[in-house]
Amino acid sequence: MSLASRVLTGLVAGLALGLVLASVQVGWAPTLVSWVEPLGGLWVNAIRMTVIPLLVSLLLVGVTSAGSREAVRLGGRTLGWFVGLAGLSAVVGGLLAPPLLRLVGADAVQLPELAERAASTDVTLPPFSDWVVGLLPATPAAAAAEGAILPLVLFTVLFGLAASGIDEEHRDRIVGGAQAVADTMFVIIDWILAAAPVGIFALTLGLAFQTGPSIIGAVAGYLITACGLVLVGTLLLYPLVGALSPVPVGRFARAATQPQAVGFSTRSSLATLPVLLEEADETLGLPANVSGLVLPTAVSVFKYASPLVRITGTFFVAGLFGVELGVVETATLIAGLGALSFYSPGIPSGGLFVLAPLYQAFGLPIEGIGILIALDVVPDMFITASNVTANLAVASILSPRTTTTAG
């Protein structure tokens, strides 16, 4: 059995066993889950342990080796695809979410218990000015220690651009050292991936046990709509890759399976970076200078499916509280949430907190954000799986037509 098959087996087994244990109400079930669940956290920490050294070393290799002109050209094309796909996601959500929510009756759902929980949720949004100032780290080492990925990425790109213009001998030393770090990280990643089925089983077991069948209770309409739209948005990526990339669609689908499973279970795009890079190299055979620049940047700033789900959630909250959103408001939401998807604070469900200014502008209650946070665990799994698919799709599309795909 391939590793991807074992990962999916662990995912399904964890969900199934967790739901069974949640329904049988036996006294030993919580104890069993409490013993197994830490294995999932340990596995996720092992992945995260490799992310920063891998991200920095690959960005350095990609930017420095490509040279400043090539790096700027590739970076500009990458940003263009990020903006275009985020816009596509927002448009799909704005057009399809309202009629689908009405079709499944989600606009008639009443959630007094969640509204009460939302009232106690402290919803705060870090000032945008602070975010802008923090884009360049005062201390790169501190940014790495705090997990501030975007400032670290920007510093690394600047460092690589500067290094591409220095003496060739010194530049080669920087590239060689960074490549050695990356190669070492890949050895560690191979060890971590061998334990992936166990880690994912432990993560999904705890998730399913805690939520139980109530996930599809009173808010089934919203959850089905949001997750279904994410699946539609994800499926749109496959013909795009087939038409614009040198990578065959079947091979792309095979390469995306394992990152999707890891993203679904961890809800962390960053945690999928090692797997994405592994698949880009071994399964797709993408050039290192492309995958090494595009993928680390993508997991840091690109949230492909986020606008789609956040727009769906906004219409759900509007229906819940009786607020009418017309054509102008819908168009504004599409533009606003598409842009705000690139500003996501590093806090739990951070993508939801950026909704606050728009909610205030449209007269939507801020308590609605608290409700979406309470429901976010399921859509966020689908969002992350879709995001990493889009990351791999952009890297595939930006690879030259001369790319020789791996077998």
pLDDT for the residue numbered 152: 80
Out of 158-162, 213-217, 267-271, 277-281, pick the least confident.
Answer: 213-217
Higher pLDDT, 405 or 372: 372
Mean pLDDT of 338-367: 64
User: Does 208 reside within a domain?
Assistant: no
Mean pLDDT of 204-211: 72
Phi and psi torsions of 155, nearest 5°:
-65, -45
Positive or negative, the CA dihedral 182, 187, 193, 195 is negative
Whether residue 140 is predicted with pLDDT greater than 50 in this model: the reply is: yes
Question: What residue numbers bound the domain in which 154 lies?
Answer: 67-166+215-398
pLDDT for the residue numbered 102: 81
User: Does 320 reside within a domain?
Assistant: yes
Whether residue 307 is predicted with pLDDT greater than 60 in this model: the reply is: yes
What b/e sequence results for 109-119 when a residue is b if at least 16 CB atoms lie within 10 Å of its CB, and e otherwise?
bebeebbeebe
* pLDDT tens digits, 167-195: 888 888 888 898 898 888 878 877 887 88
User: Does 34 reside within a domain?
Assistant: no
Among 73, 79, 70, 395, smallest CA distance to 247 is for 395
pLDDT for the residue numbered 214: 46
Among 390, 327, 371, smallest CA distance to 88 is for 390
Among 64, 48, 336, 315, smallest CA distance to 176 is for 64
**Average per-residue pLDDT for the chain:** 78
HEC secondary structure over 82-129: HHHHHHHHHHHHHHHHHHHHHHCCHHHCCCHHHHHHHHCCCCCCCCHH
Mean pLDDT of 237-252: 92
The secondary structure of residue 247, as a DSSP letter, is S
Whether residue 367 is predicted with pLDDT greater than 70 in this model: the reply is: no
Confidence of residue 255 (pLDDT cuts 50, 70, 90): very high
pLDDT for the residue numbered 114: 46
pLDDT for the residue numbered 240: 92
User: Does 118 reside within a domain?
Assistant: yes
Higher pLDDT, 327 or 405: 327
User: Do residues 326 and 370 make contact, with C-beta atoms less than 8 angstroms apart?
Assistant: no
pLDDT for the residue numbered 229: 93
Mean pLDDT of 357-383: 73
- Could you tell me the CATH number of the domain that includes residue 386? 1.10.3860.10
Q: Highest mean pLDDT range out of 49-58, 189-198, 239-248?
A: 239-248
Interacting residues of 14 by C-beta distance below 8 A, sequence separation 6+:
200, 201, 202, 203, 204, 205, 207, 208, 265
pLDDT for the residue numbered 399: 85
pLDDT for the residue numbered 236: 92
For the whole model, what pTM was predicted? 0.68
What is the rounded CA–CA span in Å between residue 58 and residue 295?
10
Mean pLDDT of 241-261: 91
* pLDDT tens digits, 61-88: 777 766 656 667 777 788 888 888 988 8
What percentage of the chain reaches a pLDDT higher than 90?
11
User: Does 232 reside within a domain?
Assistant: yes
pLDDT for the residue numbered 232: 92
Task: Output the six-digit token pair for 96.
Answer: 């399809």
pLDDT for the residue numbered 207: 67
Domain count, the chain: 1
